[in-house]
Every structure is written in structure tokens, then in C-alpha cells.
Amino acid sequence: MNTHILIVDDEQELAELLAVYLRNSGYRVTLCGDGACALRCVKQEHIDLAILDVMLPDMSGFDICRTIREEHFFPIIMLTAKIEDNDKIYGLTLGADDYITKPFNPLEVVARVRTQLRRASQYNSASHGTDEPLIEEIDIRGLVINKTTHRCTLYNENINLTPLEFDILWYLASHRGRVVPSEELFEAVWQEKYLKNSSNTVMAHIGRLRDKLHEPAKHPKFVKTVWGIGYEIE
């Protein structure tokens, strides 16, 4: 497999425990105890997924996430001892794909890792084997979303989306003209059961997606909010 996972956490025992579970699942794991080590590793090696602790000795996991997203789109999972929704939303708006609160069950982390890697693999795949005909490309007033190549352009300018952001946009576009409830969108894209704070997760990713599409906050042209229900692309 040789899928390479980077764990960035200054709690050595916890990081090593998590590394054992991931290595037992067939992954290659690199450990870093601070941000400088993490960014050096990302620059020098191919990383398939990163697990970032928020609290680190030299910089925050948020700062690392922001720097990674300037050039890379592999999945990022944030670890934190904090449980405030504001921290979670902040991490997601910076480009994190998932959020896990300490203390955690290592088996849960492994399951989340598999989910994110599966999504990334589908995103990077040139095509999907299926017996049913699919709409391969959708063009919405200059916003072109191609399912086969997993590319998105706006007025012929390439829009760099993470696999999760692409899946959100494709789902909304493929249901164009219908209001998609937040619960439906979450369960379809994340493939997890909708919980009380799941709407915040969806909202954070929608916000980041709008930023990349250069959407105005008050009157977005493409992804519109229907308050109390969900989201719509007209």
C-alpha cells in the first residue's frame, strides 16, 4: 500500500500509539512533534494524509493547515482537546477535512483516515466503473464541473478544490434547481449520520467553497443558502 500518513503531535505517547494502529492497518507513518518538522516533511516527501494537533510548541495546527493548503490538497484531519464549535469551524474554513476531539478511540481515527483516503482516491481517479450512464460535466453560467477529471473551472480559470469540496459542489450541481437540505448533503458527501453540530461542518465547507468561487458573501451567484433548510444552485 505504502500510503504515507503524517502525524503532527507533541504528545509522543499518543502519537506513537496512533502510529501503531495505522501501521498495523498497512500505512506508512511519519511522526513530527512540531510545526517546523511537519512543514519540512511536507516539502520533502509525498504525503497522502496529515493528522494535525491544534496545540503545538512552535505554531498551531491551524497555521500548518493554512500553509499546506497553499500548495497541497491531500486530506487533513485536525486533533484537538478543545470542543468549542468555533475552533472546529475555524479549522474547517482553513481547509481541514475532518475534526477529532481528544481523547479518542484509535480505531475511530483509523476509520476516519480510511474514509478520507477513499474520497481522495476517487477524486484522483480518471473515471468510475459503472453500468449506469452518468452526466460527466455540468456547465452553470461559466462554472464548469467535470466529474470524470474532477476538475472545476470558472470562466476558464482553474479552481483548485479539495476532494471534499469537489464532492459538495458536484452534489449540489447535480441537484440543480432543488434545495438540498443540510442533512441530506452531509450524509451524501460525508457518508456519516447527521448529528446536531453537523450543520456547522457543512456551513464551514460551503463558506470555503464560496471563497474559492469568488462569491460575494451577501449575494452569492452560485451556491445560495436557503435559511433553515439547506443550499441550492439555481
List, for residues 189-212, the tens digit of each pLDDT value. Answer: 988 888 877 888 899 999 999 999
pLDDT of residue 1: 53
- The interaxial angle of helices 106-124 and 12-24, nearest 10 deg, is 60
For residue range 8-47, list pLDDT tens digits in order.
Answer: 999 999 999 999 999 999 999 999 999 999 999 999 999 9
What CATH number is given to the structural domain containing 113?
Answer: 3.40.50.2300
The tally of domains found in the chain comes to 2
User: What CATH number should be reported for the domain holding residue 158?
Assistant: 1.10.10.10
Buried b (16+ CB within 10 A) or exposed e, 115-142: bbbebbeebeeeeeeeeeeeeeebebee
Residue 86 lies in a domain: yes
For the record, the C-alpha cell of 216 comes out as 460575494
Q: Is residue 195 part of a domain?
A: yes
**175 is in which domain, residue-wise?**
137-233
For each of the chain's 234 residues, which pLDDT tens digit applies?
589 999 999 999 999 999 999 999 999 999 999 999 999 999 999 999 999 999 999 999 999 999 999 999 899 999 987 666 677 778 888 889 888 888 888 988 998 898 888 888 877 664 344 444 455 888 888 899 998 888 899 988 899 998 899 999 999 999 998 999 999 999 999 888 888 778 888 999 999 999 999 988 788 889 999 988 999 998
**162 Cα distance to chain centroid:** 6
Tell me, yes or no, whether 131 lies in a domain.
Answer: no
What pLDDT score does 228 carry? 87
At 8 the pLDDT is 97
* 176 touches 233 (CB < 8 A): yes
How high is the pLDDT of residue 149? Answer: 83
117 and 10 inside one domain = yes
Q: Are residues 101 and 200 in the same domain?
A: no
* ∠ Cα 52 126 113 (to 5°): 25
Please provide the distance, in angstroms rounded to a whole number, between the alpha carbons at the two ends of the chain.
42
Contact present, 179 and 200 (Cβ < 8 Å): no
Q: End of a domain among 94, 124, 154?
A: 124
**79 and 11 in a common domain:** yes
Report the distance separating Cα 131 and Cα 107, nearest Å. Answer: 34
Is there a domain that residue 132 lies in? Answer: no
107 and 144 within one domain: no
Asked if the structure places residue 96 within a domain, the reply is yes
Residues 6+ apart with CB under 8 A from 24: none
d(Cα 78, Cα 8) in Å, to the nearest integer? 10
